[in-house]
C-alpha cells in the first residue's frame, strides 16, 4: 500500500497531468480549495468517497493511487516526444503535436467536469495474429462487423472524422513528417485520440483516419502507435490497412457499384427460374459479351470517387475481392494518370483521385481550422466549453481562454455561451 505522503503526491501529479486547477477539482468535489490543498499537501486525509470521485475525475486506475510501485502519470506530450523524435528536430512538428495534445487534454478535462466518463464507447477487438493472412482476415472481418454495429450498410461514409469523433475519439490534423500518415494515442489524460498528417491530401487523410480508427479498435493497449512508411509491413499495420480498405469500400457496396455498368459477374454464369407451365425448374447458361466484364481504369476511378478513396486504394480493393487479377491491377495502376484526368473531368475538375503514387492535393494547403478534421474537433470543444460554462463548472476566463486557443472571437463566444444559460 502507498503511504499517506505518496497518495497526496500522486493526487497532485494526476491533477496536473489532467491540466486541472485546484479550484476546478475542489468544485467537482464540492469542498473548499483549501481542503484540496491540504489533501495534496498531506496534512488532511482523503476520504474513501473523495478518493472514488477523484479516480473518476482523473480517469487514472485506482491501482496507481494505492499501489506502492506504480510509476507517476506522465504528460501525453512527453509520451509523444519519445514516440515521434521529429518533435525535437522539427519545431513545427513539435508545436503541432503539443498544441493538439493540449486541446485533447482540455476537452477531456471539460468532459470530466461535466461528469461525462471519458471511457471509449467503441468495442475492443484486440487479438493476437499468427500470420499476415490472419492480420488481413481480422481487419476485414471487424470492418464488416463495425459497419453492422454502426448501421452503415454498404454506402459510402460521408465523413470519417465525424464518425470517429462521435465514438468519443479526438481527431485533428497536424503538420507531421512526410513519411508519417497518422498517430494514434491512448492515454489516461485524454482518452483516445489521433493526429492525421495535414500535409497530405484530403482523400489520403480519410484513409489514414480509417487506419487509425483500426488502431483504436485493435491496439489501444499501446500508448502511441505511429503509422510510418518504414513500419508498414508490421502485422498491426497490415491489419489496420485491411480494415481501412474494407471499412471504406464494403464488399456489397463495391459489387453494387460495378453492377451498375453490368460488371463484376463471371463471363459465363447459370440462371435458374421456375417453369410455371410444367412446375419445374428451368435454366440456361448466360454468356456475357466478350470483353464486357473487363474492369477498366474508368471503372476503378468511378469506384474511387464513389467511396471517396484514392485510385490505388480502389485498385487494390478490386484485386483483394477477386474482381481483378494481379496482372490486371498492375495494368490499371499504370494508367493512374489518365484515371486522374478522368476523375477530374467527372468531378468538375476538382481533384479527388490521386494520380500515380501522389496523394490527392486539395485546392490549397490546409491551414488553421480549415481542415475538415479540425472543424470536427473545434465543434466538439466549443460544445463542451459552452455546456461547462452553462453548468457553471468553468469560469468566464477559462471559456475565453479556450476560445483563444481555437481562434474564436471572444465576444461572439461569450454571447453564445450566455445565451445557453437559463434566464
DSSP string, 57-124: HHT--HHHHH-SSPPPP--HHHHHHHH-THHHH-HHHHHHHHHHHHHHHHHHHHHHHTT------S--
CA torsion 72-73-79-80 (nearest 10°) is -160
Domain 4-73: state its class.
mainly alpha
What separation in angstroms does the CA of 337 have from each of 7, 301, 304, 311, 353?
63, 11, 14, 10, 10
Query: Which residues fall within 8 angstroms of residue 156, CB to CB, at 6 or more apart?
Result: 248, 253, 306, 307, 308
CA–CA distance, 258 with 302 (Å, rounded to integer) = 9
| Residue ranges per structural domain of the chain | 4-73, 77-248, 253-346
| Global confidence as pTM | 0.76
- Establish how many alpha carbons lie within 13 A of residue 232's alpha carbon, considering only the half-sphere containing its beta carbon: 10
Give the CATH number of domain 77-248.
1.10.10.2910
What is the DSSP code (8-state) at residue 322? T
Task: Measure the CA–CA gap between 23 and 16, rounded to whole angstroms.
Answer: 12
Q: For every one of its 423 residues, what pLDDT tens digit does the chain have, with 9 covering 90 and above? A: 568 888 888 888 888 877 778 998 898 888 999 999 999 999 999 998 888 888 777 767 677 787 766 566 677 888 898 889 999 889 999 999 999 998 998 888 888 788 776 566 799 999 999 999 999 999 999 999 999 999 999 999 999 999 999 999 999 999 999 999 999 999 988 889 999 999 999 999 999 999 999 999 999 999 999 999 999 899 999 999 999 999 999 999 999 999 887 776 555 545 556 666 666 665 554 455 445 568 888 889 889 999 999 999 999 999 999 999 999 999 999 999 888 888 876 655 444 444 433 333 333 333 333 444 477 788 888 888 898 888 888 889 989 999 998 888 898 889 888 987 765
| Phi, psi angles (nearest 5°) of residue 169 | -105, 130
Give residue 267's pLDDT.
Answer: 52
Q: Do 4-73 and 77-248 come out as alike in CATH topology?
A: no
pLDDT by residue (tens digit) across 287-321?
554 455 688 888 898 899 999 999 999 999 999 99
Amino acid at each position: 500500500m502507498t503511504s499517506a505522503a505518496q497518495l497526496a503526491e500522486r493526487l497532485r501529479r494526476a491533477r496536473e497531468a489532467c491540466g486541472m486547477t485546484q479550484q476546478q477539482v475542489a468544485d467537482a468535489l464540492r469542498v473548499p480549495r483549501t481542503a484540496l490543498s491540504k489533501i495534496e499537501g498531506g496534512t488532511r486525509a482523503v476520504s474513501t468517497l473523495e478518493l472514488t470521485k477523484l479516480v473518476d475525475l482523473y480517469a487514472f486506475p485506482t491501482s496507481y493511487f494505492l499501489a506502492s510501485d506504480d510509476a507517476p502519470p506522465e504528460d501525453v506530450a512527453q509520451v509523444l516526444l519519445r514516440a515521434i523524435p521529429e518533435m525535437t528536430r522539427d519545431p513545427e512538428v513539435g508545436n503541432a503535436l503539443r498544441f493538439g495534445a493540449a486541446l485533447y487534454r482540455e476537452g477531456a478535462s471539460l468532459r470530466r467536469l461535466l461528469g461525462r466518463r471519458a471511457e471509449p464507447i467503441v468495442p475492443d477487438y484486440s487479438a493476437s495474429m499468427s500470420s499476415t493472412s490472419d492480420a488481413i482476415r481480422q481487419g476485414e472481418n471487424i470492418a464488416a462487423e463495425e459497419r453492422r454495429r454502426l448501421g452503415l450498410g454498404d454506402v459510402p461514409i460521408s465523413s470519417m472524422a465525424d464518425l470517429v469523433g462521435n465514438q468519443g475519439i479526438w481527431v485533428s490534423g497536424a503538420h507531421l513528417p512526410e513519411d508519417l500518415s497518422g498517430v494514434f494515442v491512448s492515454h489516461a489524460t485524454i482518452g483516445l485520440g489521433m493526429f492525421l498528417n495535414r500535409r497530405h491530401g484530403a482523400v489520403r487523410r480519410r484513409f489514414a483516419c480509417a487506419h487509425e480508427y483500426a488502431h483504436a479498435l485493435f491496439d489501444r493497449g499501446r500508448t502511441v502507435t505511429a503509422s510510418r512508411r518504414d513500419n508498414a509491413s508490421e502485422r498491426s499495420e497490415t491489419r489496420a490497412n485491411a480494415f481501412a480498405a474494407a471499412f471504406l469500400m464494403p464488399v456489397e457496396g463495391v459489387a453494387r457499384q460495378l453492377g451498375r455498368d453490368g460488371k463484376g459477374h463471371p463471363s459465363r454464369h447459370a440462371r435458374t427460374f421456375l417453369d410455371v407451365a410444367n412446375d419445374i425448374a428451368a435454366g440456361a447458361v448466360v454468356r456475357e459479351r466478350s470483353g464486357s466484364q473487363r474492369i477498366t481504369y474508368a471503372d476503378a476511378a468511378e469506384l474511387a470517387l464513389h467511396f471517396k478513396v484514392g485510385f490505388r486504394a480502389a485498385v487494390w480493393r478490386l484485386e483483394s475481392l477477386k474482381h481483378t487479377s494481379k496482372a490486371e491491377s498492375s495494368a490499371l495502376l499504370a494508367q493512374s494518370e489518365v484515371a486522374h484526368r478522368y476523375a477530374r473531368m467527372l468531378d468538375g475538375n476538382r481533384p479527388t483521385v490521386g494520380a500515380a503514387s501522389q496523394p490527392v492535393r486539395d485546392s490549397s494547403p490546409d491551414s488553421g481550422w480549415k481542415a475538415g478534421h479540425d472543424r470536427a474537433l473545434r465543434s466538439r470543444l466549443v460544445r463542451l466549453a459552452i455546456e461547462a460554462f452553462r453548468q457553471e463548472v468553468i469560469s468566464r476566463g477559462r471559456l475565453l481562454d479556450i476560445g483563444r486557443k481555437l481562434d474564436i472571437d471572444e465576444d461572439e463566444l461569450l454571447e453564445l455561451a450566455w445565451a445557453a444559460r437559463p434566464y
